[in-house]
Structure 1
Amino acid sequence: MRLPGITMFIENPFIQTRVLTRHLKECAFAFQQAMECIISRKKDMALPFKEDVFRLRKEIQQLECGGILKSHFFRRLTIHPSLCYRYIRAHGRIALHMEKVLEWILVREEPVADPLETELFLLADAAGETVEELEKLSIAAGYWLQKKHAKNHKKIMAAAQNILDKTDNTQIIARRTKRKILESSASPASMTHLMELASLIERITDDSDEIARIVFFVLRSP
C-alpha cells in the first residue's frame, strides 16, 4: 500500500514534468543570448548559444519520448491524459520554434536594417520572457494539485494570467513588426524571409499561450 504523500507525488503530472520546464527555461535564455549576438552583428558569438538551443531541444524531445510519456504515467494522472499530452508537446514545439528561428536568421547574409532590427530584437526578447514564466506556472500548478486550497489556487491563476498577458504583448509587437516589414524598402526575397522569421518567433508565444490555457482548464474542471 502506498503512503498518501507518495501517491500524490506519483500522480502529480506537473511535478513530474517540471524538469521539462527547467530545460525550456534554459533554452529560452540561450535563445535570447543568441538573438542578441545576431542583432549586434556578432554571429560567431551566437554559435555557442545556438548549439545550446539545439542540445536542449534534443533533451526535451528525449524527455517527451523516453520517460514522461510512458503509459504508466498516463494511468496515474489526476487530469485527462490528452490534456497532459498537449501540455508536454507544447513545450517541445516551443523549443523547436526557437531552433528554427536561429537556423532561419543565421542563413541570412544581408544584415537587417533599423528599425526592423530593433523590432525583431524586441519581439524575440518578449517571446523569450514569456517562455521563462512557464517554470513558475509549473511549480504553482504542482503545489495546487497537491493541496487544493485558496492560496495555491490564487498563485496558479496569477501565474497563468501573467503568461497570457505577456503573450498578448508579444502578439502586439509581432503585428507591429510585420507591418513595418511590409512598409519597408526591403527586396521581395528579404521581406519574405523577415516575415517568416517574425511568424516563427510569434509561434513561440502561441504555444506558451496554449500551455497557460490548459492549466486554466484544469483549474476549472470539477
Structure 2
Amino acid sequence: MYAQISTLAFVGIEARAVEVQVRITPGAPAFAIVGLPDKAVAESRERVRNALHAVGLGLPYKHLTINLAPADLPKEGSHFDLPIALALMAAMGAIAPDAIADFAAIGELALDGSIRDVPGGLPAAIGANALGKGLICPAGCGAEAAWAGEDFTLLAPPHLLSLVNHFKGLQTLSRPKPNVEANNELLPDLRDIKGQESAKRALEIAAAGGHNLLMVGPPGSGKSMLAARLPSILPPLEVEEMLGIA
C-alpha cells in the first residue's frame, strides 16, 4: 500500500517543496522515517501514532516506511506530523488518496488528535500556491496563510477528525479570512509643519509617484520631522506590497 502528499521544508524564509511518501509492506512491525529528518521529525512517530489512535485508527502491524523526498534536503521542525498522518491514512484506506493529491500540508499533532500551530504559515501558503496546490494548515495559522491570496484552496482544521469528516463530506471547513488588526495610531500630520514649502512639495511628489527621496541638510533643519510625516500622505498598502516588505 502506497500514498503520498506534498509538504514544505523551510530554508530561512523560503519554503521548499517536499514529498511525503508512505509505503506499508508485510514484514516485521516497524515505523521508519528516512530523508534526513532531525530530532523533532524523528519523534513524530509517537505523536502520529497517538493522534491516529485518538480518531479511532490503529497503525497496521506491518512495516511502515516514511520517505521525505528529496533526501538531500534537511528536514527540521514538527510541521511534518500532519502530512505524515494524512499519507498514512491514505495508504490505510481511511481517506481517499485523491482527496489529498492537490494539497500540501503542515501542522504539528497533539496526542489527542488536535492540530497545533506551527511557524511559517504564510511562507507555506505562498509555496503551496506556487506549486499549484492548496494548503492544509492548523486553525491558528489560517488567518496568516490567507494573506497568500484567494486563488488557492485553504483548509485550516482544528482537529484531525474534522479534516477527515471534511474529506468524507460529513463536515465543511470554511476558508479562513486574513487577519486585519485595526490601527488606531495617529500619524504625525504633514499639515503641522509651518514653512518648508519646497520640502513638503518634494514629499508630496515622492508619495504620489512612488519615487525615491533623499533629504540632505544640517542637523536641526527638519529632515526627521518631515520624514516622520511622510506616512500620513501615503496610500494604504496593497496585499502584494505588504508581503514584499513583511
TM-score range normalised by the length of the shorter chain: under 0.3
Higher-helix-fraction structure: 1
* Larger CA Rg, structure 1 vs 2: 2
- TM-score, reference length from structure 1: 0.27
- TM-score, reference length from structure 2: 0.25
